């Protein structure tokens, strides 16, 4: 299975998604609570996949995706958005995200997105 970096400013969301990923057989390689830490953690861990929240302090998810992909063009990122953020999701995909999942997370949808992105 995949090593995954979970990025969300809400600890509860990181824990929720982390437990879903673990029960799906994936390894949570690390966590980050904002985009700046996400970029640093990506450099350090180089996981198979990143789940990236959009709205975060310090550096938002879209800019974090741009920075990660500028250094690591092969990086695979799935954006996580709340309902009603469709415009932002389009922007995230244009920035290079491979897919998106909507909060609250549905375990089946999360696993489908991971399979699709990792091939």
* Residue-wise pLDDT tens digits, 86-105: 788 889 899 999 999 988 89
- Lowest mean pLDDT segment, chosen from 5-19, 33-47, 60-74, 75-89: 75-89
Angle at 9 between CA 3 and CA 44, to 5 degrees: 40
Report, as an integer, the average pLDDT of 17-30: 97
Contact 117, 89 (CB under 8 A): no
* Domain coverage including residue 84: 2-118
- Split at pLDDT 50, 70, 90, the class of 7 is very high
Report, as an integer, the average pLDDT of 30-50: 98
Backbone angles phi, psi at 48, to 5 degrees: -70, -30
pLDDT over 90 (residue 81): no
What's the domain count of the chain? 1
Contact 4, 29 (CB under 8 A): yes
- Total-model pTM: 0.95
End-to-end CA separation in angstroms for the chain: 12
CATH, residue 31: 3.40.50.2300
User: Could you tell me how far CA 20 lies from the centroid of its own chain?
Assistant: 14
């Amino acid at each position: 299975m995949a090593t995954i970096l979970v990025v969300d400013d809400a600890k509860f969301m990181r824990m929720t998604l982390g437990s879903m990923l673990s029960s799906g057989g994936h390894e949570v390689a690390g966590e980050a609570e904002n985009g700046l830490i996400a970029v640093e953690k990506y450099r350090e861990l180089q996981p198979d996949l990143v789940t990236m929240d959009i709205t975060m302090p310090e550096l938002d998810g879209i800019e974090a995706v741009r920075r990660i992909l500028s250094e690591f063009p092969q990086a695979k990122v799935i954006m996580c958005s709340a309902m009603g953020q469709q415009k932002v999701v389009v922007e995230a995909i244009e920035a290079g995200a491979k897919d998106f999942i909507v909060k609250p997370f549905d375990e089946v949808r999360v696993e489908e997105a991971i399979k699709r992105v990792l091939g």
